[in-house]
A and B are shown apart, each in its own frame.
Chain A
Amino acid sequence: MTDLYQSQRAMRHMRQQAMQRGVIAVLDIGTFKVACLILKFGSQGASEGSGVGNMAGQATFRVIGAGTTRSRGVRFGEIAAMAETERAVRTALQTAQKMAQQRVDHAIVCFSGGEGRSYGLEGAVELEGAHVTENDIARVLAACDVPDLGAGREVLHAQPVNFILDHRSGLSDPRGQAGRRLACDMHLLSIEADVVQNLVHCLKRCDVEVAGLASASYASALSSLVEDEQELGAASIDLGGGATGLSIFIKKHMIYSDTVRLGGDHITSDIAKGLQIPYSAAERIKTFYGGVQATGKDDREIIEIGGDSGDWDKDRRTITRSELIGIMRPRVEEILEEVRARLDAAGFDHLPSQQIVLAGGGSQIPGLDGLAARILGQQVRLGRPMRVQGLPQAATGPAFAGIVGLCLFAAQPQDEWWDFDIPADRFAARPLKRAMKWFKDNW
């Protein structure tokens, strides 16, 4: 774990460097598509006194390049064929670089594979002085008991979500407050190390260094949940191609995250198997005619399946839309019920607000919100990623919730465990840093 701890620190450092240089890429390696955005950080944010806040960091960057390509060699959000994935990543990166007319050397990556598991940790220390200092926070974070993660698993996210000072809970920033005993709750997301290693290796083969890693369900929730949903409690469900991620937010912190290894690709393969048509044709039919709620009109809507077999009879087959719905619906129900089971296991019922937001490419199935409302609960809405500057219109759909969330993650990263253990010479580093900032601001 110390290896990942060190490498996370290195990534954080690299990300800061890249942001100082002004350009960083965010990369979403999914099962269905690989998307890449190039962000330019600059001073074009909201000016002082204009009445616009920093808008969760959105105002500080601008998307200058975008590239999307069909994903290859990825299954369940994990790399299955390295060379194929490398080609897909190269395609996306080159497209984005060509659009941006700038090369990027650092990328922040999100992915949904690796079987993330959530742990809630807690730790407590006695304060050294009368007030809480940063050192105390580092100590209380270090005091959390790390559970046995299992063989070959490492920490992807470790975020302090709550601080308790004496008997007062729900503190987000206890620094400077007086007290005697400081406790904290931490959310830890573990992941299979090999998956991360493959990803890093794949990006290294594309001459790009990984400047950060994030879980796709976390990134998707960042962009699809609005601020009060994050505050009051909500679950974001990212219906991806190979895996469906879910993450629960409350008080603007992720407290639970999980992945169901089922997704849109399974629906497509059901259609392909059921209708005996090629995978690409099934994908096309699903996209154009898919649905989950059959009506009487759907019986009369004839869909030409098409085909390229040369057999005239086989290529002329038609089905009705209700037949297609009959194939898709059980699979969608299975996915949602699986999600329901995970939410139940996480105790989502006990949250004050039980808003559920559906995002990801799978959420574009017509009628999904009705079906999800029956299975998951009444407060379901379809989410779309929030708007960021310069994002192409083609990348504003719910399928791009993950990568837009990753942009926000890059602009305003959540404090993580490894950000706090600051070496003792930080006092020497601080004035230098301030001088550098002054130079950056004024030159």
Chain B
Amino acid sequence: MPALSDDLRLRHPAPPAEPPLRRQAAKDRFQPAPESFQYRPRALWKADPGLPRSPAQQPLRQSSQPRAHAFIPPTDPGNTAPEPLLDALAASPSANYSWPEDPAAQPVHTTAPSSAHPARPALARRSRRDPSPSRLSYRLHRLWLTPFIRRGITVGLPVFIVVLVLGLWLGDDARRAQAQGFFTDLRTAFENRPEFQVNSLSVHAETPEVAQAITRRLGLEFPVSSFRLDLQELRHETEALDAVEVAALRIRSGGVLEVSVIEREPAMVWRHHGGLELVDIEGRRIARLAEREARADLPLIAGEGAPAAISEARQLLAAASPLRDRLRGLVRVGERRWDVVLDRGQRIMLPAEGALPALERVLALDGAQGLLARDVSVVDLRDASRPTIRLSQPAMAELHRIRNQVSGVPNR
């Protein structure tokens, strides 16, 4: 459609004519500042405090600082008058020139020109710098972002360095010994502090003999550091003593090692080849007894292996309570069975199995027929189907005599 395209061109005429002319006009519109007005760069509106200021100076003097892009004269010429050079650089040609007559009153412009516009040159320098990273820094950055490398540097390298330094330092024997000695000394010094010293031992036992035995057995030398006392070991040591059932150790304040023991209760006296010994209710040995009379209140058992069967012995003793005043003790025979020994040399031999019913049977016989009151030396119940009685020698002779008398056999 040619009409449309023509129309289009008609609707879009050429751009507004003669931009240069318009710019010229704009320039003409500019009115120069009135004489009284002086252009001052914005940065200089605030007076520079570093600048020496004489009260005689006119305020207009300060505005004659050179602009950043203006020519800055050298400061050295001493013989030529500096003032016109400086003032020729005033911002506006229509500035009011005025300066004091005395040249010595001039402000010294040694630092002012460089500090007047610090921003401009720095900005220019910054914009000139290449913002792109160098190839090396780019590669290093990429390397840094690689997870393996990054972990290696942040974690692996410090660990490696620490290990390496420690290894090198400890590689020398003397140094290792020195370090060890240092730590040992430190430890010893700490352990030997008075707070941790144990100075005495106090043993709480029921009998003084046991207390003495414990003290002797532990054999501690005071003062000693509590770090060096192994209470567990000391407790085992104490409980290894026969007379001690349970021991409790603690270090009390004031540096006292306190040992509390519960002693074993003697239940019977055991006679064996070596002599007399006290045993407790479980048959465990407590102490050696010098003589029977010392503990006449305790029943006596005898024979090898008697303490091992002490529970049966207790039952037998309890059952034999009717014979209490006649009972001399129990004898373990062959570590198998018990004999009950009475006074007058009487002995009740009990079987290995079922000793208690057998004893009760004897007691029943005794109660019914006064068996034990007769002249019987041994009541043998070892074979339950054949209880046997052994008479004493005179009783046996008397029995023979009576039988012969009855049967008429002449006395031999």
On A, residues with C-beta under 8 Å from B are 69, 87-88, 90-91, 93-94, 97-98, 101-103, 206-207, 274, 294, 302, 308, 310, 313, 316-320, 322-323, 325-327, 329-330, 333, 374-375
Contacts and interface: CB of A to CB of B under 8 A. Distances in A.
Contacts of B138: 90, 93-94, 206-207
A34 B8 CA distance: 37
Interface in B214-236: none
B274 interface: no
12 contacts: A87-B132, A90-B135, A94-B138, A103-B142, A207-B138, A317-B26, A317-B27, A320-B26, A322-B16, A323-B19, A323-B22, A333-B12
A91 B69 contact: no
Contacts of B133: 90-91, 94
Contacts of B11: 374
Interface string B115-142: 0000000000000001111010011011
Nearest to A323: B19
Nearest to A305: B23
Given A101-B145, A316-B30, 18 more contacts: A69-B132, A87-B132, A90-B132, A90-B135, A91-B131, A97-B145, A98-B141, A102-B145, A103-B146, A206-B138, A319-B22, A323-B16, A323-B22, A326-B19, A327-B19, A329-B15, A330-B15, A375-B8
A293 B131 CA distance: 37
Contacts of B30: 316
Contacts of A88: 132
Contacts of A102: 145
Contacts of A317: 23, 26-27
A271 to B, nearest CB: 11
Contacts of A318: 26
Interface in B9-44: 11-12, 14-16, 19, 22-23, 26-27, 30
A308 B294 CA distance: 128
Interface of B: 8, 11-12, 14-16, 19, 22-23, 26-27, 30, 69-70, 130-133, 135, 138-139, 141-142, 145-146
A91 B132 contact: yes
B273 to A, nearest CB: 81
Contacts of B139: 207
Nearest to A274: B19
Given A98-B141, A103-B142, A207-B139, A294 B26 contact: no
A138 B96 CA distance: 89
Contact of A374 (B8, B15, B146): B8
A319 B16 contact: no
A323 B22 CA distance: 8
Contacts of A87: 130, 132
Nearest to B146: A103
Contacts of B27: 313, 317
A294 to B, nearest CB: 7
A103 B131 CA distance: 20
Contacts of B26: 302, 317-320
A273 B328 CA distance: 143
A94 B139 CA distance: 9
Nearest to A70: B131
Most buried by A among B130, B132, B133: B132
Given A94-B141, A317-B27, A375-B8, A310 B19 contact: no
Contacts of A310: 69-70
A308 B8 CA distance: 41
A233 B23 CA distance: 47
Contacts of B8: 374-375
Contacts of B70: 310
B132 A327 contact: no
Contacts of B135: 90
B15 A327 contact: yes
Contacts of B132: 69, 87-88, 90-91
Contacts of A91: 131-133
B141 A97 contact: yes
B255 to A, nearest CB: 62
Contacts of B19: 274, 319, 323, 326-327
A320 B22 contact: yes
B16 A374 contact: no
A382 to B, nearest CB: 20
